[in-house]
Structure 1
Amino acid sequence: MQLNPYGEYAVLLASSLANHWPSDRDGIEERTREVGMSMPFPRLPDDHAQVRSVIDDWLAVVDAPSDLERAQLLNTQLASAAAYPRLVDHDNEGWHLHYRDDGQSMPQVLRSVICTGTALHLTTRGMHRLHRCEASPCTNVVVDVTRNGRQRYCSVRCANRAAVRRHRARA
Structure 2
Amino acid sequence: MARGGSSVTVSALTPDVLVDLVNGWGTWPRQEGQRTDEPLPSLDSLDALHSSDSLGDLALPGAVRDALDADAVARVADAIHPVFAADDAPGCADRLTRLLSAAGARPVLTAAPDGTLHAVWSVAAPDGALLAAAAVTLRAYLAEHGWGRIGLCAGAHCADVYIDQSPGGRRRFCSVTCQNRTRVAAFRSRRAAAAE
Q: TM-score range by the shorter chain?
A: 0.7 to 0.9
Aligned length: 158
- Alpha-carbon distance in structure 1 between the residues aligned to 2:167 and 2:136: 22
Pick the structure with greater CA Rg: 2
Structure-1 separation of matches of 2:42 and 2:55: 16
Is it true that 1:83 corresponds to 2:106 in the alignment? yes
| Root-mean-square deviation over aligned CA pairs | 2.9
Q: Is 1:53 aligned with 2:80? A: no
Deviation at 1:149, TM superposition (A): 0.8
Aligned counterpart, 1:114: 134
Determine which of 27, 41, 54 is the counterpart of 2:45: 27
- TM-score, normalization by structure 1: 0.76
C-alpha deviations, 1:43-79, integer Å up to 9, x for none?
Answer: 4365332222121111121222222121111111112
Query: Is the alpha carbon distance of 1:19 and 1:29 closer, same or farther for their aligned partners in structure 2, counting shifts above 3 Å?
Result: same
Q: Which is strand-richer, 1 or 2?
A: 2
The one-letter code of the counterpart of 1:54 is V
Q: Are 1:169 and 2:163 matched, yes or no? A: no
Percent identical residues: 24
Aligned residue among 71, 74, 90 for 2:93: 71
Contact map agreement 1:84 1:100 (CA 8 A) in 2:
yes
Query: 1:147 — aligned with what?
Result: 167
Residues 45 and 14 (structure 1), Cα distance of their counterparts in 2 relative to 1, 3 Å cut: same
Of stretches 36-45 and 150-159 in structure 1, the one that deviates more from structure 2 is: 36-45
Ranges in structure 2 where 5+ consecutive residues have no aligned partner = 1-10, 26-39, 192-196
For residues 148 and 167 of structure 2, what CA distance do their matches in structure 1 show?
13
1:1-56 superposed Cα distances (whole Å, 9 cap, x missing partner): xxxx83x71x4322202212234432334367964433423243653322221211
Relative to the length of structure 2, the TM-score reads 0.67
